């Protein structure tokens, strides 16, 4: 007899069943409340010529025996075949246990929908209860089944350094679409985020993500029967994983999200989930100043204090000294590993410098990259064996540096001790944790047999973050990897904010943030106002545009504000004050993404939790020359979540909710007015 369970989220439900044969767990339905009440939209019980039943079934988690041709989630060398054993269920969680009676493998499929969210978390616990070691050639976290009877449309995000989070779509009639990273970090190239909808229905969208800060793979395959199955999990870049008798392995959490409101609705589901992950740390992020683009490696007390004085004057709250503050760090060829403030740069002592910054009324932040080491450093001279390397092979340098093997206990202790020591010794409230090279060497000196380096690195990284948070709860941690190469759900649960890209050029940044906000909540979006023209994107935009753009998440300033005129500083002070008025709503509000960087309409609306206030940040995406000279009607921004009969006002202007929703909020762009913040209050 079939056994069946339904997990309920805020708006959605997820129903699974074990068929009478007990060989797998399968999806019955996943969608809005009530969707399971009817014939399964993904089930299939027809003929399967030249295939097996498991290949065509909406299997939740399959070994290669159950799904030999259509892609298995778990591949055990010498094969494995699971049978249902037992289940434990509650409204918001489920654990279904399977076992292989031949080799002793036990697999517990875990499910949980955190309260108030529409995200189903899935993870698998494997235990080797047999007498012999088991070798796992693939160890996926989950298969998510999506009904796409009329063809699948896949949305994904690609990128490269300085061009992260580019939202793109592909129509998939048949076959496989795959993204991933083999770099030991989620990477710049793709984001561990994917969305699928039926080509004839853009409203119902299913999304997947992965909580894994290492190498990963997401693969969507649409079969001839109209089912799209998304496999998500770690990329086993170090080769198979051996599971010794008695050993237990918990695979990373895969997350599935559903929205009946298109990609924008799906973004809101992810935002609510990440706010849940942040928990009590979802407090207003400070307005920060970061010195990187102003001074690069030429950090010293005088230059930083000159910046800090201006920063304090315009309303900045936290002053972050970026790369270049420690010994041997005149440029990127040395210093990493030796985390002592450079006495030549801080002649009166580092603590005196920090005290001077704090005396301006600012909190203090510091940049670190503790997993990396330059060959030109004391650390490398003392511990050359601490870096990843393959015996007898030359080492690869990226940005003139090597990567420490964080999986080794002594290295993890060093990294934790370094950061913890800095936080204990100096009055630090903010940490920017950077990582500027992928892992190239798949080896550990002297290791015999395969070592899961990726798994050990991520496990220790997470442990260190968790320990630092526990011991220094007031310190805000920004996760950065040469821009946005370390953004995944695992980091969203452990870091407070992400640095999404080194590209702060206004129009490039608009596209980066547009993609980022599809996958990540505003409290995770660190953004700086930098000088024009930008490093990468010289297209002119006003200071107002750059401020409004950086206000879409966590506002920061990265310009050389020593050179700003009194007028520019006064304007900056006005924007910062304005941001402080709206940031609670930016942090906690419901986000509606309106249009996008490639469209005339381009805005983000944040609706306050009590739905009384709508904050709209809007940007002019078109040409500036000639704007306002020729006849043109205003851009109209359709707002969401308003009451049609209610009245909403900006102070000078009033509109009905119906007008704002259907006709849209009018904005007239000119060359001198290319961005705006509009706050509407319900009467």
Residues forming contacts to ligand DGJ in the complex (CB under 6 A) are 292, 322-323, 367, 434, 436, 480, 482-483, 499, 502
CB of 480 to ligand DGJ, least distance (A): 5
Minimum separation from the CB atom of position 348 to ligand DGJ (A): 25
User: Residue 582: which of 287, 270, 319 has the closest Cα?
Assistant: 287
Q: Find tokens 């770099």 and name the residue.
A: 183
> In terms of CB distance, is 322 or 441 closer to ligand DGJ?
322
H-helix or E-strand containing 223?
Answer: none
Residue 349 has a CB neighbour count (10 Å cut-off) of 12
Minimum CB separation of residue 520 from ligand DGJ in Å reads 17
Compute the least distance from the CB of residue 336 to ligand DGJ, in Å.
9
Q: Give 49-110 as a DSSP string.
A: TTS-HHHHS-BSS-BTTTSTTT--SEEETT----EEEEEEE-SSEEEEEEE-TTT-EEEEEE
Tokens encoding 224: 């001839």
Min dist. Cβ of residue 401 to ligand DGJ (A)? 10
**Pair 196, 151: CB distance under 8 Å:** no
Among candidate residues 240, 311, 318, the one with its CA nearest the CA of residue 554:
318
Q: Minimum distance from CB of 430 to ligand DGJ (Å)?
A: 13
Q: Which is nearer to ligand DGJ, 429 or 434 (CB)?
A: 434
Buried b (16+ CB within 10 A) or exposed e, 76-106: beeebbbebeebeeeeeebebbbbbeebbbb
Closest CA to 583 of 618, 556, 622: 556
- Our CB check for ligand DGJ shows the closer of 325 and 350 to be 325
Residue placing its CB nearer to ligand DGJ in the complex, 163 or 608: 163
Number of Cα atoms under 13 Å in the Cβ half of residue 593? 25
Give whichever of 323 and 405 is closer to ligand DGJ, judged by the CB atom.
323
Beta strands in 502-549 (DSSP E): 526-529
Q: Closer to ligand DGJ at the Cβ: 476 or 675?
A: 476
How many whole angstroms separate alpha carbon 167 and alpha carbon 159? 9
Q: Is 526 helix (H, G, I), strand (E, B) or coil?
A: strand
- Bridge partners (DSSP) of residue 14 are 7, 30
Of residues 540, 582, 481, 585, the one with CA closest to residue 191: 481
Smallest separation, CB 487 to ligand DGJ (Å)? 12
Q: Which lies closer to ligand DGJ via its Cβ, residue 4 or residue 376?
A: 376
Task: Name the residue nearer to ligand DGJ (CB basis): 144 or 325.
Answer: 325
Residue (11 or 333) nearer to ligand DGJ, CB: 333
Smallest gap from Cβ 332 to ligand DGJ, in A, equals 7
Taking the complex as a whole, the smallest distance from the CB of residue 502 to ligand DGJ amounts, in Å, to: 5
Q: How far is CA 101 from CA 53, 106, 128, 249, 554, in A?
A: 21, 9, 11, 19, 53
Residue nearest to ligand DGJ (CB): 323
């Amino acid at each position: 007899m079939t056994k069946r369970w339904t997990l309920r989220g805020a708006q959605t439900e997820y129903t699974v069943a074990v068929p009478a044969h007990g060989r797998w767990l399968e999806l019955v339905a996943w969608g809005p409340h009530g969707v399971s009440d009817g014939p399964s939209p993904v089930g299939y019980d027809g003929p399967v010529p030249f295939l097996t039943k498991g290949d065509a079934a909406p299997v939740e988690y399959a070994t290669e025996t159950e799904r030999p041709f259509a892609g298995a989630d778990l591949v055990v060398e010498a094969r494995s075949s699971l049978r249902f054993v037992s289940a434990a269920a509650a409204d918001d969680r489920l654990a279904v246990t399977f076992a292989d009676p031949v080799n002793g493998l036990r697999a517990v499929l875990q499910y949980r929908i955190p309260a108030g969210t529409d995200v189903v978390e899935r993870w698998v616990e494997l235990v080797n209860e047999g007498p012999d070691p088991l070798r796992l050639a693939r160890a996926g976290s989950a298969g998510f089944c999506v009904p796409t009877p009329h063809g699948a449309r896949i949305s994904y995000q690609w990128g490269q350094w300085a061009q992260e989070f580019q939202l793109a779509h592909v129509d998939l009639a048949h076959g496989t679409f795959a993204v991933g990273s083999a770099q030991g970090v989620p990477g710049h190239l793709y984001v561990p985020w994917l969305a699928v909808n039926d080509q004839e229905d853009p409203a119902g969208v299913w999304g997947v993500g992965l909580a894994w800060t290492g190498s990963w793979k997401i693969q969507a395959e649409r079969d001839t029967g109209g089912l799209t199955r998304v496999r998500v999990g770690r990329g086993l870049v170090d080769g198979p994983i051996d599971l010794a008798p008695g050993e237990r392995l918990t695979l990373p959490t895969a997350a599935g999200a559903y929205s009946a409101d298109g990609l924008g609705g799906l973004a809101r589901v992810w935002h609510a989930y990440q706010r849940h992950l942040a928990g009590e740390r979802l407090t207003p992020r400070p307005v920060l100043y970061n010195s990187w683009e102003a001074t690069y490696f030429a950090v010293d007390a005088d230059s930083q204090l000159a910046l800090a004085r201006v920063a304090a004057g315009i309303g900045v709250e936290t002053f972050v000294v970026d790369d270049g503050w420690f010994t041997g760090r005149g440029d990127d060829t040395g210093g990493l590993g030796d985390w002592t403030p450079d006495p030549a740069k801080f002649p009166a002592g580092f603590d005196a410098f920090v005290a001077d910054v704090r005396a301006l009324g600012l909190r203090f932040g510091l940049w670190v990259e503790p997993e990396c080491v330059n060959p030109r450093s004391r650390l490398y001279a003392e511990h050359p064996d601490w870096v990843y390397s393959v015996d007898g092979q030359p080492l690869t340098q990226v940005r003139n540096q090597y990567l420490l093997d964080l999986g080794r206990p002594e290295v993890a202790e060093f990294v934790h001790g370094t950061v913890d020591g800095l936080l204990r010794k100096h009055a630090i409230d903010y940490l920017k944790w950077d990582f500027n090279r992928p892992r190239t060497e798949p080896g550990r000196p002297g290791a015999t047999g395969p070592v899961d380096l990726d798994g050990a690195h991520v496990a220790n990284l997470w442990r260190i973050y968790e320990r630092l948070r526990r011991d220094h709860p007031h310190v805000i941690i920004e996760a950065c990897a040469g821009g946005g190469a370390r953004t995944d759900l695992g980091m969203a649960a452990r870091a407070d904010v992400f640095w999404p890209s080194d590209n702060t050029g206004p129009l490039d940044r608009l596209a980066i943030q547009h993609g980022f906000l599809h996958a990540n909540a505003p409290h995770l979006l660190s953004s700086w106002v930098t000088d024009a023209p930008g490093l990468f994107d010289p297209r002119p935009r006003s200071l107002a545009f750059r401020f409004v753009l950086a206000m879409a998440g966590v506002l920061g300033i990265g310009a050389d504000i020593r050179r700003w005129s009194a007028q520019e500083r006064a304007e900056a002070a006005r924007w910062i004050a304005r941001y402080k008025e709206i940031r609670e709503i930016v942090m906690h509000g419901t986000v509606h993404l309106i249009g996008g960087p490639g469209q005339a309409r381009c805005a983000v609306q944040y609706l306050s939790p009590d739905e009384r206030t709508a904050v709209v940040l809007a940007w002019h995406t078109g040409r500036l020359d000639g704007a306002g000279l020729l006849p043109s009607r205003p851009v109209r921004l359709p707002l969401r979540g308003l009451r049609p009969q209610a009245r909403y006002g900006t102070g000078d202007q009033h509109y009905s909710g119906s007008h704002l929703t259907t006709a849209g909020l009018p904005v007239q762009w000119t060359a001198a007015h290319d961005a705006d913040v509009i706050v509407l209050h319900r009467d």
